[in-house]
Amino acid sequence: QQQVKQSPQSLIVQKGGISIINCAYENTAFDYFPWYQQFPGKGPALLIAIRPDVSEKKEGRFTISFNKSAKQFSLHIMDSQPGDSATYFCAGYNFNKFYFGSGTKLNVKP
């Protein structure tokens, strides 16, 4: 059962542009929605996260928008930089388990 669906699979953005990655979830029992950033050869690193009682969370250039009724959430990267080029995973958390999306490979062109 694919509990978290992520799109797009890959994304190319020009430097300075906005990167948007979308996720949809099925399990309404999820109570925490993190985004992880993964560089090649490294483990995922927590980037930003949100609880379902909040509609938006912003940390620097990274913003999560959360729509509980639609069971969707998205990551917005403002002023995208080449250093942001990585794979991004969304996830839902419930009962000490994370369910990850399939990942989005972001390439920010200089």
Partner 1 sequence: EPEVTQTPSHQVTQMGQEVILRCVPISNHLYFYWYRQILGQKVEFLVSFYNNEISEKSEIFDDQFSVERPDGSNFTLKIRSTKLEDSAMYFCASSDPLTYLIYEQFFGPGTRLTVL
Interaction site with partner 1 (CB under 8 A): 6, 32, 34, 36, 41-46, 49, 89, 93, 95-103
Q: How far is the CB of 16 from partner 1 (least distance, A)?
A: 29
Determine the Cα–Cα distance for residues 76 and 64; give it in Å rounded to an integer: 6
Whole-angstrom CA distances from 1 to 76, 99, 100, 108 are: 27, 10, 12, 32
Residue 70, Ramachandran bin (φ over 0: left; ψ between -120 and 50: alpha; else beta): alpha
Contact partners, residue 5, CB within 8 Å, separation at least 6: 23, 24, 25, 101, 102
Q: How far is the CB of 43 from partner 1 (least distance, A)?
A: 3
Q: How far is the CB of 54 from partner 1 (least distance, A)?
A: 14
Q: How far is the CB of 57 from partner 1 (least distance, A)?
A: 14
CB nearer to partner 1: pick between 20 and 48? 48
Residue 83 is classified by DSSP as G
CB nearer to partner 1: pick between 34 and 62? 34
